[in-house]
């Protein structure tokens, strides 16, 4: 009996089965240690839409609510690489009202491909704007009064091409369709690399705005001229303001206002668990060529933010889907509800800022300094908030014109003085030589 069993176990088919079992176990162990293999946790299709399905659902919301929502698709290409940018605009009575008279908000989701939770938040935000969904614990009448004052442009999925790579199985991909990090492709401090630079994570491209996605976003911000910019990411819980490329925040009144707004959001929506401050001073590393730094420094957006809405610190660095996205329904719902509430609270605070700026009296102590004016901030505030300061503008322009003339005349006088001295010296030398 024992010999017969031994013969059966040692037969060729049995040895083949043992061989297969051995190497399958080896592959499982290897998969857990090899960083080149895909991450462990797959995309939960019960929670997350595919990119095409999500954009179709948003398109359906727009079609059902043409009185509030509109959608356009911008297209760009560079050296054979092509990208689309879907832009949803919310504006009540947009046919009757000039958008420039309202408070303008530009907000982008899904700039990094692997951060799927941000695009789901975009869908929720647009659903609330359409009034097919509602915010819990928020007065809808009060919210509607706020929304009447706003124009909101939403980019629900900035990095469509990179997102498709993630859906095909590359769950750690954050770059676009040709391997460029869209949040390193902007012109402020572009291309600088830290000691821990990783090209897979932070490839800035061949130059500022080398990618169609970044170029389209820049053109959109230039034509829309937002008062507020928000860039939505995941990987941690944080409320960031400029700057990302240095360990400091801007000086002056705009910075103070942004800090106050973020502190309120942290208290009411993050239960004080979110990191607050500049991206470069809080996150632990400097980021160069980011969108938010460009929006604040170059596009002159008065309020520019980067929000990080979720991160699992217990996940392996190679388990990217779990690290950047909730994997269970309760956590998913909590993140979506908390951050949709935070965004609409921020919208309300922004609208109030506009009201305060419009009601400021020039005789009060809140006047902008000449230094701020010379930096262009006064003119920006005039164009953005419609303050009637034409007389003050004219006076400041005259002062700057006179100052420039003074500098020019001083240089000319100095040049003439030096020339006279040189001629006098030559005459003296000539006389002495005779």
Whether residue 311 contacts residue 234, with contact meaning beta carbons closer than 8 Å, is answered with yes
Residue 308 bears catalytic tag:
yes
Angle at the Cα of 280 (from 275 to 284), degrees rounded to 5? 65
Whether residue 330 contacts residue 121, with contact meaning beta carbons closer than 8 Å, is answered with no
Q: How far apart are CA 30 and CA 148, in angstroms?
A: 57
- Dihedral of CA atoms 354, 360, 362, 363 in degrees, nearest 10, equals -160
Cα–Cα nearest to 351, from 142, 155, 96, 154 = 142
Give the CA distances from residue 215 to residues 65, 145, 185, 220, 222, in Å, rounded to whole numbers and listed in that order: 29, 34, 9, 9, 11
Strand order in the sheet with 69-78: 69-78, 81-90, 150-155, 103-108, 228-233, 303-310, 236-241, 275-278
SS3 of 264-320: HHHHHHCCCCCEEEEHHHHCCCCCCCCHHHHHHHCCCCCEEEEEEEECCCCCCCCCH
Each as own residue / partner, the long-range contacts of residues 41-46 (CB below 8 Å, 24 or more positions apart, any chain) are: 41/171, 41/315, 41/319, 41/321, 41/322, 41/327, 42/171, 42/321, 43/116, 43/166, 43/167, 43/171, 43/321, 44/327, 46/329
Classify the C-alpha dihedral 240-151-161-333 as positive or negative: positive
Q: Which of 115, 120, 173, 308 is catalytic?
A: 308
Cα–Cα nearest to 144, from 336, 340, 344 = 344
326: left (phi over 0), alpha (psi -120 to 50) or beta: beta
Q: List residues with catalytic annotation.
A: 308
């Amino acid at each position: 009996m024992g010999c017969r069993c031994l013969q059966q176990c040692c037969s060729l088919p049995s040895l083949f089965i043992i061989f297969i079992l051995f190497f399958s176990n080896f592959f499982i162990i290897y998969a857990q240690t090899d960083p080149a293999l895909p991450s462990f946790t797959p995309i939960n299709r019960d929670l997350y839409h595919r990119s095409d399905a999500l954009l179709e659902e948003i398109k359906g919301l727009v079609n059902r609510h043409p009185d509030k929502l509109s959608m356009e698709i911008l297209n760009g290409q560079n050296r054979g690489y092509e990208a689309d940018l879907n832009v949803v605009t919310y504006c009540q009575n947009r046919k009757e009202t000039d958008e420039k008279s309202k408070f303008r908000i530009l907000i982008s989701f899904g700039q990094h491909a692997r951060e799927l939770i941000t695009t789901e938040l975009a869908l929720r935000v647009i659903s609330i704007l359409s009034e097919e969904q509602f915010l819990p614990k928020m007065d809808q009448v009060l919210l509607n009064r706020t929304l009447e004052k706003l124009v909101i442009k939403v980019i629900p999925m900035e990095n469509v091409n990179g997102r498709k790579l993630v859906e095909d199985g590359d769950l750690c991909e954050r770059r676009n369709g040709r391997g460029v990090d869209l949040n390193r492709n902007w012109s402020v401090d572009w291309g600088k690399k830290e000691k821990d630079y990783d090209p897979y994570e932070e490839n800035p491209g061949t130059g500022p705005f080398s990618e169609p996605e970044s170029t389209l976003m820049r053109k959109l911000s230039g034509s829309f001229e937002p008062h507020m910019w928000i860039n939505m990411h995941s990987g941690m819980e944080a409320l960031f303001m400029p700057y990302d490329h240095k360990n400091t925040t801007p000086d002056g009144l705009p910075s103070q206002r942004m800090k106050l707004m973020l502190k309120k959001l942290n208290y009411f929506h993050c239960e004080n668990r979110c990191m607050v401050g500049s991206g470069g001073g809080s996150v632990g590393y400097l980021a160069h060529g980011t969108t938010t730094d460009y929006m604040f420094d170059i596009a002159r957006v008065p309020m520019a933010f980067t929000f990080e809405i979720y991160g699992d610190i217990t996940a392996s660095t190679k388990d990217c889907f779990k690290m950047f996205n909730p994997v269970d329904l309760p956590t998913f719902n909590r993140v979506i509800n908390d951050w949709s509430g935070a965004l609409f609270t921020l919208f309300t605070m922004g609208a109030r800022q506009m009201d305060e700026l419009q009601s400021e009296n020039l005789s009060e102590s809140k006047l902008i300094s000449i230094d701020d004016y010379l930096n262009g901030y006064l003119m920006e505030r005039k164009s953005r908030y419609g303050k009637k300061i034409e007389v003050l503008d004219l006076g400041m322009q005259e002062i700057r014109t006179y100052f420039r003339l003074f500098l020019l005349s001083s240089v000319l006088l100095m040049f003439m003085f030096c020339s006279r001295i040189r001629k006098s010296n030559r005459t003296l030398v000539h006389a002495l030589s005779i």
